[in-house]
A and B are shown apart, each in its own frame.
Chain A
Amino acid sequence: SQQGEEDPQALSIQEGENATMNCSYKTSINNLQWYRQNSGRGLVHLILIRSNEREKHSGRLRVTLDTSKKSSSLLITASRAADTASYFCATDAGAGNNRKLIWGLGTSLAVNP
């Protein structure tokens, strides 16, 4: 299995509900990033959380990081139809020339009006 695995693979909720997506990884990380991708478009950076941080907020987004469990979660509160997209986590792992960004397979979120 891959570093940076998101779950669930797909999530369907109603507008106004909260959406939670999880990302698990295998090796120690320097930081973890979350990105959003609308269908057929490029990715947009949402949040970067460093390995020494436990929680970060940005508007309706809340990201947590548990390095002991090697997992992160992305919470979108009061979801809107415009939040419909795929969400990817990317883990910055390794050191020196072996340091790299590893992408998960993404969670597809559908917010129904």
Chain B
Amino acid sequence: DGGITQSPKYLFRKEGQNVTLSCEQNLNHDAMYWYRQDPGQGLRLIYYSQIVNDFQKGDIAEGYSVSREKKESFPLTVTSAQKNPTAFYLCASSIERVPPNTGELFFGEGSRLTVL
């Protein structure tokens, strides 16, 4: 079935470590996004990519990095520079390339990162 796969679902990290969250889609969508979700807050955009080898910062990009080497893959690295990384991370994709993400979004099941 077509969809978005995020892994791992749960991840624990020690302070000072970088971690990479995987996001793969087989929907043939051009655009992919990373969001962060914290309790009591709406989704906040970290990074988005409209096309391979190109990506743009969202509203809270500091302490994060991404790459888009393949159309189907958009991994997110949470670096040690991110001061409060414990959160639920959601990857999404959309058909349109219209920036930044104004059409219907298809979401993965999320990755919950906890810093110990």
Could you mark each residue 25-49 of chain A with 1 if its beta carbon is under 8 Å from any beta carbon of chain B, else 0? Answer: 0000011010100001111110010
- What are the residues of chain A within 8 A of B103 when measuring CB–CB? 48
Per-residue CB proximity of B16-57 to A under 8 Å, as 1/0?
Answer: 000000000000000000000000111111000000000000
Q: Which residue of B lies closest to A6 (CB)?
A: B42
> CB-defined interface of B88-116 with A at 8 Å, one 1/0 digit per residue?
10101000001111111111111010000
Chain-B contact segment, one of A14-22, A62-70, A102-110:
A102-110
Total number of residue pairs linking A and B with CB closer than 8 Å: 58
Closest CB of chain A to B59's CB: distance in Å? 8
Give how many B residues have a beta carbon under 8 Å from the other chain's beta carbons.
25
Partner among B41, B45, B90 whose Cβ is within 8 Å of the Cβ of A43: B90
Contact of B104 among A33, A41, A104 (CB under 8 A): A33
Flag if B106 contacts A105 (CB, 8 Å): no
Given the complex, which residues of B lie within 8 Å of A97, measured CB to CB? 99
A48 engages B42 (CB within 8 Å): no
User: C-beta contact mask, A86-112 vs B, less than 8 Å → 1, else 0?
Assistant: 001010100001011111111000000
Whether a CB of chain B sits under 8 angstroms from the CB of A52 is: no
A12 within 8 A of B: no
Q: Is the interface of B mostly helix, strand, loop or mixed?
A: loop
The answer to whether A4 and B104 have CB atoms under 8 Å apart is no
Residues of A44-59 at the interface with B, using a CB-CB cut-off of 8 Å, are 44-45, 48
Nearest A residue to B108 via CB reads A42
Given the known A-B contacts A105-B40, A105-B42, are A42 and B100 also in contact in the complex, defined by CB atoms under 8 Å?
A: no
- Chain B's nearest CB lies how many Å from the CB of A29? 10
Report yes or no: B102 in contact with A105, Cβ–Cβ below 8 A: no
Residue of A nearest to B4 (CB): A42
Complex Cα distance, B42 from A11, in Å, reads: 18
A-B contact pairs, 5 of them (CB 8 A): A42-B6, A43-B92, A48-B103, A88-B42, A103-B43
